[in-house]
Amino acid sequence: LPPKGRMAPRTDSVALQSTYLGAIGDWIDFEATVSTKEGQIAIAPGRLVRDWVENGRHYFHYKMDRPILNFYAFLSADYEVQADRWNDVDLKVYYHKGHEYNIDKMMEAMKASLDYFTKNYSPFQHKELRIVEFPRYSSFAQSFPTTIPYSESIGFIANLEDEEDIDYVYYVTAHEIAHQWWAHQVVGGNVQGATLMSEALAQYSALMVMEKRYGKDQMRKFLKHELDNYLRGRRTEMEKEQPLILCENQNYIHYNKGSVVMYALQDYIGEENVNAALAAYLRDWAYKAPPFSTSEHFMEYIYGHTPDSLRYLVHDMFEAITVYDIKAREAEMEQLEDGRYRVTLTGDVQKFYADSLGNETPASLNDWIDVGVMTTRRVDGKKKNVALYMQKHRISSPNPTFEIIVDEKPETAGIDPYNKLVDRHSDNNTVKIKG
C-alpha cells in the first residue's frame, strides 16, 4: 500500500462526515453538571444555570443556548473574575489573583472583536463569552464554544510595556474570538484545506481588528514576521508543501502564509469585498449538517467577489505556491522648478511557481504590484514611515523603471515596499533615494 497522506483529499465522502477538529457527526445539544473542590469555580461551555454546595463539593450546572460541535473543555481553579458586557453578551475573564496586568486589554479586544465580526460577518451566537487562565505548562490559547482557555504565559503575565512591540495579547484575543465564527459557526470537513477556513480566516479577522486599533504600521511589522516564519517553515518542511487551499494542518501555511495572503487579498480587492465573501460563505454554510464544507466551496465565494483583472492573483495566492523575488535596485531624485521632486526608480522583479518539493519554475510576469515613494515624519513624538506615493502598477518587465513625482522631498522608494506579496528576499524591496 502507498503511504497514507496527512489528510484525506477533498473528494473523500467519508472524511467529509467529520470536521477537521475530530468532531464526528452533527451539531449537538450540550448540558453539563460539573463538581469541584469547594472554593473553586468549575467552567464548562454555556451559561451557568445554577450552582450549589453539597457534601463539601461545589456544583455548577451549565447549558448551551444553541447547538455546538462535540468539542469543549472543562476547567476548575480558585479564580478571580472580572466582568463586563457587550450589548446583551456577558463578558468575563477568570484569572489567578495577582495576574491582573492585561485583563483590561483582553476586555478591550473582546469588545472590538465582537463589534467587527458581528458587523461584517454574522451575529454572535451566544449570550456569554469568557476567557479562562490556565498555568504556563503550555503556551497557547484555544477557542471552544463560549469559552477560551488562555495560557498564563502568553496573555496574563505578558510584558507589553514596549509600545513598539506587537501587542500579541490583543492579537491572540481577537484571533481566538474569531474562532467563534471560523470553526464554531462554520467548519470544514476533515480533508485537505480545512484550516484555510478556520485558522487563516481567524488570522485575517484578528488583523483587521488590530489594524483598526493600532494602524497599518503595526500591521507591516506583524506581516513581516509572518512572512519570515512562512519562508522558514518552507525550508524545514519534512514531507511536502501544499498550496493554501490544500493545507494539511501545516502551521506555517495556514497561520503565517494565511496572514500574508488574506491581508494582501483585502488590499487588492478591498476589505468590503473580502468581508462580503466571508459573510456569504457563513450565510450558506453555518451550522450545516454533514457533509461539511471544503476549501473548494469557500473559494467560490472569494472568486465571486474578485474582479476579473485580479483572478490571477487569487489563483497564485491560494491555489498555487507562488514566490516573488523583488529588488529595488536604485532610486534618484531631482527637484523640479515648481518645488516638487521627480523620482526615478529601477528594480528587478521575478515570479516563480514552486512544486511541493520546492522546485521552482519561472512564471510569466504581468502582475499588479505596489510602487511607493516614502519619507519619515514625527507623529505623536515618534518617527513614522509615510507614503508620499503608493500605487499599483502592472509590471510585465523583469527590469522595470518608474518615474514618479511627489510634492515633498522623499527618502526611500520601493517595489512592494510593505511586503504584501510572498517575496523570498523581502529585505531589499526599498532603497534610499540619491540626489
Cβ atoms within 10 Å of 392's Cβ, excluding its own? 15
Strand duo 31-37 + 57-63: pairing: antiparallel
Measured CA to CA, the distance from residue 254 to residue 243 in angstroms comes to: 10
311-336: average pLDDT: 98
In the chain, what is the straight-line distance between the N-terminal and C-terminal CA atoms, in Å? 67
Q: pLDDT tens digits for 179-233?
A: 999 999 999 999 999 999 999 999 999 999 999 999 988 888 899 999 999 999 9
The secondary element (H helix, E strand) that includes residue 213 is helix 199-214
Cβ atoms within 10 Å of 314's Cβ, excluding its own? 18
Q: What is the DSSP string of 258-281?
A: HHHHHHHHHHHH-HHHHHHHHHHH
Residues near 154 by beta carbon (within 8 Å), at least 6 away in sequence:
139, 140, 141, 168, 169, 172
* Mean pLDDT of all residues belonging to the chain: 95
pLDDT at 379: 79
277-299: average pLDDT: 97
Superfamily in which the 30-63+70-182 domain is placed by CATH: Neutral Protease Domain 2 (1.10.390.10)
26-34: average pLDDT: 95
- Is 3.40.1000 the CATH number for 1-18+187-319? no
Residues near 206 by beta carbon (within 8 Å), at least 6 away in sequence:
113, 171, 172, 174, 175, 178
Range picked from 162-171, 174-183, 372-381 for highest mean pLDDT: 174-183
pLDDT at 425: 94
Strand duo 89-95 + 128-134: pairing: parallel
170-182: average pLDDT: 98
Strand segments (E) across 69-166: 75-77, 80-86, 89-95, 128-134, 147-151
Measured CA to CA, the distance from residue 395 to residue 413 in angstroms comes to: 16
Higher pLDDT, 378 or 146: 146
Question: How many whole angstroms from its chain centre is CA 276?
Answer: 17
pLDDT category at 23 given cuts 50, 70, 90 is low
Which residue is associated with the grid cell 465571486? Answer: 304
pLDDT at 321: 98
pLDDT at 94: 98
Q: Which fold does the domain 323-434 belong to in CATH?
A: Immunoglobulin-like (2.60.40)
pLDDT at 186: 97
pLDDT at 406: 98
pLDDT at 172: 97
403-409: average pLDDT: 97
Q: Would you say residue 78 has pLDDT above 70?
A: yes
Using alpha carbons, select from 55, 91, 54, 57 the residue that is nearest to residue 76: 57
Q: Would you say residue 93 has pLDDT above 70?
A: yes
Q: Would you say residue 349 has pLDDT above 70?
A: yes
3-state SS, residue 5: coil
Q: Would you say residue 166 has pLDDT above 80?
A: yes
**CA distances (Å), origin 105, targets 169, 184, 218:** 7, 24, 17
Tell me, yes or no, if the two domains 1-18+187-319 and 323-434 fold the same way. no
3-state SS, residue 226: helix
pLDDT at 380: 76
The residue ranges of every structural domain in the chain are 1-18+187-319, 30-63+70-182, 323-434
Give percent above pLDDT 70 in the chain: 99
